[in-house]
Structure 1
Amino acid sequence: MCYSFFLHLLNLIISDSVEELLDSIKKYSESLFEQIRSFRQYLHANPELSFQEKQTSLFIAKTLRDNNIPVFEGIGGTGVIGIIEGQINGKTIGIRAELDALPIVENTSLDFLSKNDGVMHACGHDIHMASLLGTAIIVNKLKSSLTGKIVLVFEPGEEQIPGGAKQIIDSNIFQQNIPDIMLTFHVLPELISGKAGFREGQYMASGDEVYIIVKGKGGHAALPKTTVNPIVIASNLILNLKEFIDKETPPAIPSILSFGKFQANGATNIIPNDVHIEGTFRTMDEDWRHKAHHLIEEISKKTCIDLGGDCEIEIRKGYPSIYNNPELTRKAKILAEQYLNPSNVIDLERRMTTDDFAYFGQTIPSVFFRMGVGFENSCNFQLHSSTFIANEEVLKYSSGLMAWISFNLPNKID
């Protein structure tokens, strides 16, 4: 009887402690909103391309130092790692944000639009960085309640293969502080700000770049019998490859082969010697990915030779597919429901986009989730668009939610 009463009392104390922590995180998140928004607006106005994020990394490092968080710079070139240690030993969670912007000319009316011509934060990395800085400040203020350690990863070059994740993973400081869990979020314009989305298991695709040079025999357009037209060959090749994907892909494995560039330097009266075509192959199964690469090469060679030409083909292997640890993702979703309310947390569909966060997930149980940046009753422009605008209301929730997950998720693994 006494033992049962003691357990009940202990549970009440723990429950009160958890509620107190949640309340503290929400209060800090609210009070820090304007500061976090100022981080975002500075970063948006000063974007830098992949592996060139020198001023961005200096800003990140200074902000962490200003908040008495130990900082390690120059990771993978421009990467930054911050470390917050709790008062009690425990699990380590790593949280990632990306530093780089895209080579896009911004076409918005924002007061803080890009000052760097031809460079824009069109994928929300400014939101990610500002959010993680906010999380760092919140956690550091409450670190007396932190069990274990948090590794803050600001990764360079996510937008450019081979990406910066591998360089972060291989760095001495990361290896000395290997997380038990990795966490990240990415903005989603289709989802209204204030909402979050999760998916257990396979979530995003691998992505490989396909480069083919179709070789023919150029000549006068009026004398087709004396030429081998590479435009005709390349056109047939694209159709054959599409048929291959449609027929040969296993039914349960999403796969897409898309060509976005078809370049032939001929003229109205000139058949060119060659055609350059470029595209991407995306899928969600590593065994099929490997097999498909060989089949794409075989079909390309056979098609070109059968039509009297030849080809050179290169498949540049990109990022692997993203797999969300089911148990951790399920628990992270419950924590998000506690923080945002269940009505604001949804289940996500699989997506064929890519992210090099997948490399972390190959060796560390990981969770990649989404946060909405869409506007209600408004047209929301897509990521990688010159007109993309993120709803800054997300910053009222993103930092606090990651802090809440960081305090609690490591305690939910064995």
Structure 2
Amino acid sequence: MPEILSEIQRLAAQYAADTVALRRHLHAHPELSFEETNTAALVTRELLRLGLHPQPIANTGVVALIEGQPGGPTIALRADLDALPIQEANDVPYKSTTPGVMHACGHDVHTASLLGAARILNELKGEFKGCVKLMFQPGEERLPGGASLMIKEGVLENPKPTSVLGQHVFPHLPAGKIGLRAGRYMASTDELYLTVRGKGGHGAMPEMNLDPVLVAAHLIVAAQQLVSRRANPKIPSVLSFGKVIANGATNVIPNEVYLEGTFRTLNEEWRDEAHQHLRRLCEGLADSMGAVCELEIRRGYPYLENEPHLTARVKAAAQEYLGPENVVELDQWMAAEDFAYFSQAAPACFYRLGTRHEDGRFAASVHTPTFDIDEKALATGPGLMAWLAVKELAGA
């Protein structure tokens, strides 16, 4: 398929400036999870301009189909639409115009890339058999996750894709490179909300109180035993508390302490078991100290599995498109992504798109006020995604 490869590369370069302009517009006009009304409208307009027939899904999501020649399978490509509640600190022409909201996780890049891939694939649809399903997903950053809602509304049916591909920005890799990993790649994520209740009073008279701060301190330390002593050391697990509110004073013991945290792992059986251990630990330890602990566990995304055979094909195709030196192996990552729902429902591959300047500029992590990209990544993302879809259609 060398002819179609070179044609995709040519079109990706030809449309790169348009893709950058789209990404900059999206970056300047971010919208929070499940509020992506204007973003979905822009996506819809762009797809209509290509002669496609986009349909709304999951309220602020969009789905469309590029139909090639009859007789082939269907491949699904996914991008997410939402931004984060972060005030942007970058001084760039395309800086967010929405106070307190920013595309700090690269979803503007993902959306612009998929629109660019759609433009390429639509132009070449006479060259491949089958269909490409375009999935523009809302609400990746907030539970229950837009992917789960789209699946419930039938996005993986009629037609049913044989595989699902997605990409995500990666500031640790230079633009022009991608990274991927077969098998279990990203973690499940659960949100923990604890309230420890005791009896507050004067800090100089602890014998007359029941100090919930002390109980909470014991809980934080004891909970780490879930990872260090209860988890199989071969199963990656993370338990972290990032918010503790004990609203007393230097001489005031409060009546209660409020905590928030996260539990993440790469094994669903251990995940369920850990929830039970954590409940028993919190309730039992608090009771043993005379206090009460209420624990709410909000179950989040499952772990993300890159189907090994599909990932091997994606790796080989990416090496053809970018060169072997520009395709790297990644370690497991304990962050979470609701693309995991797709990976639990169909063969899937989620790979990382390098976005760092060669000189290290724009290396700030995602979810920070200074995150930005080397826009050369937008010359890579759309064409590669189009090429991966064509290769999968040809080999499925």
Partner of 1:392: 375
Equivalent pair of 2:227/2:237 in contact (CA under 8 Å): yes
The answer to whether the aligner puts 1:290 opposite 2:272 as a matched pair is: yes
Match of 2:232 among 250, 260, 283: 250
Equivalent pair of 1:371/1:398 in contact (CA under 8 Å): yes
Partner of 2:297: 315
Deviation of 1:95 after TM superposition, in Å, equals 0.6
Equivalent pair of 1:158/1:165 in contact (CA under 8 Å): yes
The answer to whether the aligner puts 1:339 opposite 2:321 as a matched pair is: yes
Question: The residue matched to 1:206 in structure 2 has which SS?
Answer: coil
**CA pair 299-44 structure 1, distance change in 2 beyond 3 A:** same
Equivalent pair of 1:85/1:146 in contact (CA under 8 Å): no
Partner of 2:80: 98
Match of 2:31 among 43, 48, 51: 48
Equivalent pair of 2:226/2:274 in contact (CA under 8 Å): no
The answer to whether the aligner puts 1:22 opposite 2:5 as a matched pair is: yes
User: Which residue type is aligned with residue 379 of structure 2?
Assistant: K
User: Which residue type is aligned with residue 351 of structure 1?
Assistant: W
Question: Which aligned pairs between 1:202-351 and structure 2 lie closer than 5 A?
Answer: 202-351=184-333
Match of 2:103 among 121, 144, 147: 121
Task: Return the alpha-carbon distance in structure 2 between the equivalents of residues 348 and 172 of structure 1.
Answer: 32
Question: The residue matched to 2:44 in structure 1 has which SS?
Answer: helix
Equivalent pair of 1:202/1:323 in contact (CA under 8 Å): yes
CA deviation map 1:263-282 (0-9, x unaligned): 01111121101000100000
Task: Return the alpha-carbon distance in structure 2 between the equivalents of residues 185 and 390 of structure 1.
Answer: 15
**CA pair 262-405 structure 1, distance change in 2 beyond 3 A:** same
Equivalent pair of 2:128/2:394 in contact (CA under 8 Å): no
Task: Return the alpha-carbon distance in structure 1 between the equivalents of residues 190 and 395 of structure 2.
Answer: 35
Task: Return the alpha-carbon distance in structure 2 between the equivalents of residues 78 and 41 of structure 1.
Answer: 20
Deviation of 1:363 after TM superposition, in Å, equals 1.8
Question: The residue matched to 2:216 in structure 1 has which SS?
Answer: helix
Partner of 1:362: 344
Partner of 1:39: 22
Equivalent pair of 1:181/1:410 in contact (CA under 8 Å): no
Task: Return the alpha-carbon distance in structure 2 between the equivalents of residues 31 and 239 of structure 1.
Answer: 56
CA deviation map 1:127-155 (0-9, x unaligned): 00000000000000000012110000000
CA deviation map 1:15-40 (0-9, x unaligned): xxx11100100000000000000110
The answer to whether the aligner puts 1:68 opposite 2:54 as a matched pair is: no
Equivalent pair of 2:128/2:393 in contact (CA under 8 Å): no
User: Which residue type is aligned with residue 375 of structure 2?
Assistant: E
Match of 1:198 among 180, 204, 207: 180
User: Which residue type is aligned with residue 263 of structure 2?
Assistant: F
Question: Which aligned pairs between 1:55-204 and structure 2 lie closer than 5 A?
Answer: 55-73=38-56, 75-172=57-154, 174-204=156-186
Equivalent pair of 1:83/1:149 in contact (CA under 8 Å): yes
Task: Return the alpha-carbon distance in structure 1 between the equivalents of residues 60 and 370 of structure 2.
Answer: 27
**Stretch moving more, 266-275 or 335-344:** 266-275
* Larger of the two Rg values belongs to structure: 1
Q: Which structure 2 segments of 5+ residues have no match?
A: none
Task: Return the alpha-carbon distance in structure 1 between the equivalents of residues 373 and 240 of structure 2.
Answer: 28
Deviation of 1:172 after TM superposition, in Å, equals 4.5
CA deviation map 1:83-120 (0-9, x unaligned): 10011321111110001000000000111100100000
**Stretch moving more, 271-280 or 376-385:** 376-385
**Count of paired positions:** 395
**CA pair 174-363 structure 1, distance change in 2 beyond 3 A:** closer
Question: The residue matched to 1:314 in structure 2 has which SS?
Answer: strand
User: Which residue type is aligned with residue 278 of structure 2?
Assistant: I
Deviation of 1:307 after TM superposition, in Å, equals 1.4
Task: Return the alpha-carbon distance in structure 2 between the equivalents of residues 64 and 71 of structure 1.
Answer: 6
Equivalent pair of 1:81/1:152 in contact (CA under 8 Å): yes
Task: Return the alpha-carbon distance in structure 1 between the equivalents of residues 180 and 341 of structure 2.
Answer: 19
Q: Which structure 1 segments of 5+ residues have no match?
A: 1-17
Deviation of 1:174 after TM superposition, in Å, equals 4.5
Question: The residue matched to 1:308 in structure 2 has which SS?
Answer: coil
Match of 1:372 among 328, 332, 354: 354
Equivalent pair of 2:239/2:264 in contact (CA under 8 Å): yes
Deviation of 1:310 after TM superposition, in Å, equals 1.1
Task: Return the alpha-carbon distance in structure 2 between the equivalents of residues 137 and 232 of structure 1.
Answer: 60
Deviation of 1:320 after TM superposition, in Å, equals 0.1
User: Which residue type is aligned with residue 242 of structure 2?
Assistant: G
User: Which residue type is aligned with residue 177 of structure 2?
Assistant: K
**CA pair 312-68 structure 1, distance change in 2 beyond 3 A:** same
Equivalent pair of 1:155/1:165 in contact (CA under 8 Å): yes
Deviation of 1:173 after TM superposition, in Å, equals 5.6
User: Which residue type is aligned with residue 304 of structure 2?
Assistant: I
Task: Return the alpha-carbon distance in structure 1 between the equivalents of residues 237 and 154 of structure 2.
Answer: 36
Question: The residue matched to 1:259 in structure 2 has which SS?
Answer: strand
Task: Return the alpha-carbon distance in structure 2 between the equivalents of residues 321 and 247 of structure 1.
Answer: 22
TM-score by length of 2: 0.98
Equivalent pair of 2:163/2:346 in contact (CA under 8 Å): yes
User: Which residue type is aligned with residue 141 of structure 2?
Assistant: E
Question: The residue matched to 2:43 in structure 1 has which SS?
Answer: helix
**CA pair 115-39 structure 1, distance change in 2 beyond 3 A:** same
Equivalent pair of 1:46/1:116 in contact (CA under 8 Å): yes
